[in-house]
Structure 1
Amino acid sequence: MNFLFISGAEIFFILFIVVMVFGADKLPGIAKGLGKGMRQLRDATDDIKREIQNSADKQGLNTDFTKDIKKEIDDVKKNVEEVTGTIKRGAK
Structure 2
Amino acid sequence: MFGIGGGELILIILIALMLFGSDKIPEIARAMGKGMAQLKNATNEIKSEIQKGAEANGIDTSMKQLTSTFTDEVEKVKSNLDSNILPEVTKTKEDIEDLTGPIKRQR
TM-score normalized with structure 2 length: 0.44
TM-score normalized with structure 1 length: 0.50
* Higher relative strand content: 1
* Higher relative helix content: 2
| Higher RCO by CA contacts (8 Å cutoff, separation 6 or greater) | 1
Rg comparison, structure with higher value: 2
